[in-house]
Amino acid sequence: MRLIISGGGTGGHIYPALALIKELKKQEPDSEVLYVGSTRGIEKNIVPKLGIKFKELRIQGFKRSLSLDNFKTVYLFLKSVHESKKIIKQFHPDIVIGTGGYVSGAVVYAASRLHIPTLIHEQNSVVGLTNRFLSHYVNKIAIAFHMAADQFPSGKVVFTGNPRAQQVANLKSNFKWSQYDLKDDVPTALIVGGSQGALKLNQSTVEAIKKFNQRKYQLVFVTGPKRYDDVKRKLSGIDINSNVVIKPYISNMPLILPKTDVIIGRAGATSLAEITAIGIPSILIPSPYVTADHQTKNAMSLVKNNAAIIVKESDLNADSLIKPIDELMANSNERHQMATNSRKMGVQDAATRLYHVMKQLTGK
Annotated binding site for UDP-N-acetyl-alpha-D-glucosamine: 10-12, 124, 195, 250, 295
CB of 344 within 8 A of CB of 81? no
Kindly provide the b/e burial profile for residues 32-56, where b requires at least 16 CB atoms within 10 angstroms of the residue's own CB. ebbbbbbeebbbbebbeeeebebbb
Q: Where are the alpha helices (DSSP H) in the chain?
A: 11-27, 43-46, 69-91, 102-113, 129-134, 163-169, 199-213, 228-234, 253-256, 269-278, 294-303, 318-329, 332-345, 350-362
Strand pairing class (32-38; 118-122): unpaired
HSE value, Cβ hemisphere, 13 Å, CA-based, for 82: 7
Determine how many CB atoms are found less than 10 A away from the CB of residue 100: 29
3-state secondary structure of 59: coil
Report the candidate in 169, 163, 166, 171 with the shortest Cα–Cα distance to residue 100. 163
In the β-sheet with 244-247, what is the strand arrangement from edge to edge? 244-247, 218-222, 188-192, 262-265, 282-284, 308-310
Q: Are 95 and 73 in contact (CB under 8 A)?
A: no
Annotated binding site: 10-12, 124, 195, 250, 295
224: left (phi over 0), alpha (psi -120 to 50) or beta: left
